[in-house]
Amino acid sequence: MRRIAALLIVSLPAFGQSAGDFRWEAPVTVSGGDALNRLTLPFEAYRDARPDFGDLRLFNAAGEALPIAFAGEPAPVVTGSTPTALAIFPISAEPGRDVLQGSLDVLVKSDARGTIVSVQGRSANKPAPMRTAAWLVDASQFAKPMRGLVIAWDVHPGTEVVKVDVDASDDLKAWRRVASRAPLMHLEQSGAMIEQRRVDLSGLRAKYLRIAGEPTTFALTGVSALSDDVVAPAARSKRLVQGAAGTKPGEYLFDLGARIPVDLARIVLPANTVAPFVLYTRDDDKQPWRTVTAATFYNLTREGATLESQPAAVNAGPMRHVMAQLDPRSPPLSSAPSLEVQWRPAQLVFVARGDGPYHLEFGNREAKATLLAVSQLIPSYEAHAEMKLAEAKVGAVQANAPPEPAWRAAIGDTNPRKLALWAILIVAVFVLAGMAWRLSSQMKGGAKPPQ
């Protein structure tokens, strides 16, 4: 019995954790001379690494394993908006007349969309001298809230401080003050220049603006509008998968090829199609489908422009198999659509110790997890500090070891040593059963049991 157990245990393959003992590998090229780098996990890691990523390794040229840690969630990138130039029209008035009181004493021509075409003073043919008292600003096509204005004026040499009033209207009749005596400055000294040209508007929505300034020599030359800051989400990876018809009408099946942490998904439809879908997911055919989102997707051409639906938010964890069920009230599609999924790929932070080339390896079911916390890897760690590190480039993934034997693929993630122990117990049961059968046969034949 002991011999059988020893034979089974000894026959188990040794699953090493050194360089070359992992199924897949990819070259890694570090950036700069900093010891700390980060890299983005390739798609193949989601396909072939363990679900817990415990078999991820980074090695240097000498085969030494490098300290690694998962980066945290990246912060969204906030960038200021690009100024949008607005059309301006001077408003003339007779000396001593204030055009800022009441409605404008001008003739305004606009097109069907409300965009101003021209502004003409009603007193333009009078012999009295005219002066530019204010400027009309057309913001009718600026659809976003205005956080501020960037003002350009005819600046005189040296230091100049002007104050402007800004009024807003949607019909050129009723006006409201939105900025009063807002200071603007232009300073030149010793070859240096300092300017303050912004007027804050706190998210104003208005079709038209009217700007007047002091002193009377103020001459407006340009106005640009600023919208809210642009918040760009963290970079995502994309994958497009062609669907196949399911067993039921309006049912389409997709295989993503790996368990991916999808957070956005959309059905890609042919031109001029609108279709409501419910999306489901499961890991394999032994599990029931579970709902992840429901949305109406479209692909329309209007006025020469193509309008496509935005991806729908998905919060279902890692996904492998997806089913899209068309609303039964919707007309059937002529062919199976495609599915586009997006996810934020995980990033590894590592210490580039020793000489390169460096290489990422994964695909070893018996490897023990060696991932550290990112705060352990970066001295005096602060949130999102890892996102400021230089990004290493990951090359093409290729096979690094022979394919798994059939028996190993068959048992999946089950520990072979655990299976060996079960095998020992099963063999022991058969041995005991055989011994009992022999003993029973000897007793029935009248033979004495062995001493």
373 and 332 in a common domain: no
pLDDT at 199 over 50: yes
Q: Regarding beta strands 338-343 and 77-79, do their DSSP bridges make them parallel or antiparallel, or are they unpaired? A: unpaired
85, 103, 186, 427, 447 from 140: Cα distances, Å: 12, 18, 29, 85, 111
Q: Which of the residue ranges 35-44, 181-190, 255-264, 307-316 would you say has the lowest mean pLDDT?
A: 181-190
Residues with Cβ within 8 Å of residue 353, at least 6 apart in sequence: 35, 60, 64, 66, 67
218 and 108 in a common domain: yes
Residue range of the domain that includes 351: 22-72+346-411
Contact by Cβ (8 Å): 105, 123: yes
User: What are the counts of helices (DSSP H) followed by strands (DSSP E) for the chain?
Assistant: 5, 32
- Token pair, residue 246, equals 């399911």
431 within a domain of the structure (yes/no): no
322 within a domain of the structure (yes/no): yes
Query: Mapping DSSP to helix (H, G, I), strand (E, B) and coil, where does residue 184 land?
Result: strand
> Which parts of 154-243 are beta strand (E)?
160-169, 176-189, 192-196, 198-204, 208-214, 220-226, 230-232, 237-242
Give the pLDDT band of residue 252 (cuts 50, 70, 90).
Answer: very high
Percent with pLDDT over 90 in the chain:
48
CA pair distance 50, 64, nearest whole angstrom: 21
Domain boundary pick from 343, 362, 393: 343
What pLDDT does 129 receive? 54
User: For the domain that residue 107 is a member of, what is the CATH number?
Assistant: 2.60.120
373 and 267 in a common domain: no
| β-pair partners for 296 | 276
226 and 242 in a common domain: no
Q: How many CB atoms lie within 10 A of CB 418?
A: 10
Query: Mapping DSSP to helix (H, G, I), strand (E, B) and coil, where does residue 59 land?
Result: strand
Q: pLDDT (tens digit, 9 = 90+) per residue, 160-198?
A: 889 999 999 998 888 999 999 999 988 776 666 778 899
Question: Residue range 264-275: average pLDDT?
Answer: 93
- Please, which contacts does 232-235 make with residues 24 or more away whose CB atoms are closer than 8 Å? 232/76, 232/77, 232/78, 232/79, 233/76, 233/77, 234/73, 234/74, 234/75, 234/76, 234/77, 234/344, 235/74, 235/344
How far the first Cα of the chain sits from its last, in Å, is 20
71, 233, 246, 249, 447 from 253: Cα distances, Å: 33, 29, 6, 12, 68
Question: Residue range 387-399: average pLDDT?
Answer: 92
Q: pLDDT (tens digit, 9 = 90+) per residue, 299-352?
A: 988 767 788 888 999 987 899 999 999 999 999 999 999 999 999 999 999 999
What pLDDT does 293 receive? 94
| β-pair partners for 324 | 252, 279
Residues with Cβ within 8 Å of residue 425, at least 6 apart in sequence: none
Q: pLDDT (tens digit, 9 = 90+) per residue, 78-132?
A: 666 788 999 999 887 765 555 554 455 566 666 666 676 666 655 545 555 567 8
Contact by Cβ (8 Å): 412, 50: no
Does 420 or 207 have the greater pLDDT score? 207
Question: Residue range 398-427: average pLDDT?
Answer: 63
What pLDDT does 193 receive? 75
8 within a domain of the structure (yes/no): no
Encoded amino acid at 409, one letter: A
What pLDDT does 158 receive? 74
Q: How many domains does the chain have?
A: 3
106 and 226 in a common domain: yes
Q: What is the CA radius of gyration of the chain?
A: 36
Q: pLDDT (tens digit, 9 = 90+) per residue, 435-449?
A: 877 777 777 665 555
Query: Tokens 């642009």 map to which residue?
Result: 230
Question: Residue range 379-385: average pLDDT?
Answer: 87
Verdict on whether the full-model pTM lies above 0.95: no
Q: pLDDT (tens digit, 9 = 90+) per residue, 278-288?
A: 999 998 888 99
Domain boundary pick from 230, 256, 271: 230
360 and 304 in a common domain: no
Encoded amino acid at 235, one letter: A
What pLDDT does 15 receive? 40
222 and 91 in a common domain: yes
What pLDDT does 425 receive? 78
Going by the DSSP 8-state scheme, the letter that residue 144 receives in this structure is S
pLDDT at 57 over 60: yes
313 and 200 in a common domain: no
Query: Tokens 């050129």 map to which residue?
Result: 172
146 and 206 in a common domain: yes
What pLDDT does 181 receive? 92
301 and 219 in a common domain: no
Mean pLDDT across the chain, nearest whole number?
82
